[in-house]
C-alpha cells in the first residue's frame, strides 16, 4: 500500500507523492517560547517526529522545518515581569525546549528558524500584499490584511466569510476596515522595549504572529511545499491566515497536504494554560520514564484526542516493559532483521495508512509474542528495528527496566538477589520467598531463567 495521508484541506485520505521527485518538504508550527513546554507541545513534536521518521524510512529525503516564535505579546510581557531581556528569556526557553525534546527521543528538525531572524522577509511579503491591494495601513499605524479581498479565505477550515460575520460579536476595529481583518505589522508602543521594535516603511514596529510562518516557510521551503502541520487548534485562524498571506503574495498553493494532530485532554477537557489544567513536560518526566511518555503519545492515532491520566501512563509503562522483556530474553545484537517478513510488511501497511501508529504498535506486540515463543534472534532484531522507526526500543533492556534506580538501589537489589540465590542453593525456600516478597513490596519484580535472575521495576 502506498502512503496515504488525511489531508485537512480535502477532509479525506489522499495518496501522497512529493512535488520534487524524492524530496519531501515539511513545515510545522512550533512553540512560542515564553515558558516551559507542556504535554500538548510534546504531542506535536512527537507526532511530526514520527511522520518525518517514516518518510525517511520510505526512502525520501526530508527537509523538516519547525519554527520558533521568539517575539510575541506574551514574550514581551513575561520578559518585563522577569526584569530580563527578551533575548535572555527566549534563549533560556529554547534551551529548555531542546532538553525536553531530546529526552523524548525527538530528532532535531532540519531547520529551526527563529522569527526574529526573518523580519526582512516578513516585510517583503507585507509589501507584496499591499501592492496587490490585500493589505493596508490602518489609522493606528498597524498594517492589516483585508480578508474580504482574498476570495479563497476559509477553504482550510470550511468557514465562509458570511458564517464568520454571522457569528462575530461586537468588535473593536482598532483602525481596521473590517473586524475580520488581521494584523500583519504591529505599530510600536512607547512602553515596549527597544528590542521589540524594527524599522520599516510603516514606522517602528514588529510582526504579527501569522506573518512569521509565511515568511519562514517561504524562505526555507519555497512558494509551494508538500506538508504543513501543527495542532488542531491552529487550523483556524492561524493556518487559514497563513494561506491568505502566502497565496495572496505569491499566487501559488502554499502546501499540498495539511496535517493536524488532536488535542491532549485532562478529564475530557482540552489541556491548556488558560484552563490551568496543563502539565509541563518536565513535570511529567519527574514521574515517568521519557520513553514511556513517548510510547503513551504514539499509542493513540495522531488525529484522535489523547486523554492524559496516571492510569494511562502506568499502562503505557507496563506495555512497553513487555516489549523490552522480549528483547531482554532474546538478544538481537549483531543480527540483521528481515524487512520482507510478513509482520514487517503489516507494519508498513499500518504506517502507510495515515501513520496509523496504534496498528503499527500492535504488530510490535505480535513480534514480541513470537520472540518469546520461538526465541528467534532474527525476530528480536526485527522488533528492535521496527521499534526504532517509532523512536522506541533502542536502549539496552536492562537500562529501561532499571530506569529511575540509583546506584545504591541497584547494589542493594543485587545483594538481595545473591542472598536469595544462596538461600535457594541451601534449600532455604522460606528465606528465598521472603526476599522475593520484600523486593516486591519495594516495586521490584524478579525474573528467573536458565541464564540467572534479572529484575525490573514494576509499573
Using alpha carbons, list the distances in angstroms from residue 371 to 262, 279, 329: 34, 37, 9
CA angle 444, 331, 453 (to 5 degrees): 30
Burial 374-386 (b: 16+ CB within 10 A, else e): eebbbbbbbbbbb
Neighbouring residues of 21: CB distance < 8 A, sequence distance ≥ 6? none
Give bridge partners of residue 215 from the DSSP assignment: none
Mean pLDDT of residues grouped by 10 in the chain (459 residues)?
Answer: 95 96 97 96 98 98 98 96 97 98 98 98 98 94 96 92 62 75 96 96 96 98 98 96 98 98 85 75 96 98 95 95 95 93 98 98 98 96 98 95 58 65 68 71 65 62
> What is the rounded CA–CA span in Å between residue 45 and residue 230?
9
Please measure the distance between the N-terminal and C-terminal CA atoms of the chain and give it in whole angstroms.
37
Cell reading at 428: 532455604
pLDDT of the residue at 411: 55
What backbone phi and psi angles, to 5 degrees, belong to 50? -60, -45
Does residue 353 sit in helix, strand or coil?
strand
Burial 47-78 (b: 16+ CB within 10 A, else e): bbbbbbbbbebbebebbbbbbbbbbbeebbeb
Greatest Cα-to-Cα distance within the chain, rounded to the nearest angstrom: 92
Which class for 299: exposed (0-12), middle (13-18), buried (19 or more C-beta within 10 A)? Answer: middle
Give bridge partners of residue 444 from the DSSP assignment: 457
pLDDT of the residue at 406: 44
pLDDT of the residue at 405: 46
> What is the rounded CA–CA span in Å between residue 205 and residue 421?
73
The answer on whether 29 is annotated among ligand-binding residues is yes
**Closest C-alpha among 151, 143, 126, 142 to residue 249:** 126
Residue with cell 468588535: 171
pLDDT of the residue at 431: 73
Label the pairing between strands 182-187 and 143-145. Answer: antiparallel
The answer on whether 442 is annotated among ligand-binding residues is no
The answer on whether 107 is annotated among ligand-binding residues is no
Please name each of the domains of the chain with its CATH number: 23-261 (3.40.50.620), 266-400 (1.20.120.640), 405-457 (no CATH)
The answer on whether 359 is annotated among ligand-binding residues is no
pLDDT of the residue at 109: 98
The size of the chain, in residues, is 459
pLDDT of the residue at 175: 75
pLDDT of the residue at 215: 98
pLDDT of the residue at 401: 87
Cell reading at 404: 529511575
HSE-CB at 137 with a 13 A cutoff on CA atoms is 11
The answer on whether 273 is annotated among ligand-binding residues is yes
- Structural contact between residues 206 and 235, judged by C-beta atoms closer than 8 angstroms: no
> What is the rounded CA–CA span in Å between residue 42 and residue 279?
11
Write out the H or E segment, with its range, that includes residue 44.
Answer: helix 39-57
Amino acid at each position: 500500500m502506498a502512503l496515504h495521508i488525511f489531508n485537512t484541506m480535502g477532509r479525506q485520505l489522499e495518496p501522497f507523492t512529493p512535488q520534487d521527485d524524492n524530496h519531501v518538504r515539511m513545515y510545522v508550527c512550533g512553540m512560542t517560547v515564553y515558558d516551559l513546554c507542556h504535554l500538548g507541545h510534546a504531542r506535536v513534536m512527537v507526532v511530526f517526529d514520527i511522520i518525518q521518521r517514516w518518510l525517511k524510512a520510505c526512502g525520501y529525503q526530508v527537509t523538516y522545518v519547525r519554527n520558533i516564535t521568539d517575539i510575541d505579546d506574551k514574550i514581551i510581557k513575561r520578559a518585563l515581569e522577569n526584569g530580563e531581556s527578551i533575548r535572555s528569556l527566549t534563549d533560556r526557553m529554547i534551551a529548555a525546549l531542546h532538553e525536553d525534546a531530546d529526552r523524548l527521543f525527538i530528532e532535531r528538525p532540519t531547520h529551526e528558524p527563529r522569527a526574529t531572524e526573518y523580519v526582512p522577509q516578513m516585510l517583503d511579503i507585507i509589501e507584496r500584499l499591499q501592492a496587490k491591494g490585500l493589505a493596508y495601513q490602518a489609522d493606528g499605524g498597524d498594517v492589516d490584511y483585508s480578508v474580504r479581498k482574498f476570495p479563497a479565505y476559509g477553504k482550510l477550515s470550511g468557514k465562509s466569510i458570511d458564517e464568520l460575520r454571522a457569528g462575530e460579536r461586537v468588535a473593536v476595529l482598532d483602525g481596521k476596515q473590517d473586524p475580520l481583518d488581521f494584523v500583519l505589522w504591529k505599530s510600536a508602543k512607547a512602553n515596549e522595549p527597544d528590542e521589540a521594535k524594527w524599522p520599516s516603511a510603516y514606522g517602528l514596529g514588529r510582526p504579527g504572529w501569522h506573518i512569521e510562518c509565511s515568511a519562514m516557510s517561504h524562505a526555507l521551503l519555497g512558494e509551494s511545499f508538500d506538508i504543513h502541520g501543527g495542532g488542531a487548534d491552529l487550523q483556524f485562524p492561524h493556518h487559514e491566515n497563513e494561506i491568505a498571506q502566502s497565496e495572496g503574495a505569491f499566487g501559488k498553493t502554499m502546501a499540498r497536504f495539511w496535517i493536524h494532530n488532536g488535542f491532549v485532554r485532562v478529564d475530557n477537557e482540552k489541556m491548556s494554560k488558560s484552563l490551568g489544567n496543563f502539565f509541563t513536560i518536565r513535570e511529567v518526566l519527574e514521574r515517568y520514564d521519557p520513553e514511556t511518555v513517548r510510547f503513551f503519545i504514539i499509542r493513540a492515532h495522531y488525529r484522535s484526542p489523547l486523554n492524559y491520566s496516571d492510569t494511562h501512563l502506568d499502562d503505557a509503562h507496563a506495555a512497553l516493559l513487555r516489549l523490552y522483556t522480549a528483547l531482554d530474553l532474546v538478544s538481537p545484537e549483531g543480527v540483521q532483521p528481515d524487512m520482507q517478513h510478513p509482520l514487517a510488511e503489516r507494519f508498513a501497511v499500518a504506517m502507510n495508512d495515515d501513520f496509523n501508529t496504534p496498528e503499527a504498535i500492535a504488530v510490535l506486540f505480535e513480534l514480541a509474542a513470537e520472540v518469546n515463543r520461538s526465541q528467534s534472534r532474527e525476530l528480536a532484531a526485527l522488533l528492535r528495528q521496527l521499534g526504532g522507526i517509532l523512536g522506541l526500543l533502542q536502549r539496552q533492556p536492562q537500562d529501561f527496566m532499571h530506569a529511575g534506580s540509583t546506584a545504591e538501589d541497584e547494589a542493594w537489589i543485587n545483594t538481595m538477589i545473591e542472598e536469595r540465590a544462596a538461600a535457594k542453593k541451601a534449600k532455604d525456600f522460606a528465606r528465598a520467598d521472603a526476599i522475593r516478597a520484600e523486593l516486591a513490596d519495594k516495586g521490584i519484580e524478579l525474573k528467573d531463567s536458565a541464564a540467572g535472575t534479572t529484575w525490573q521495576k514494576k509499573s
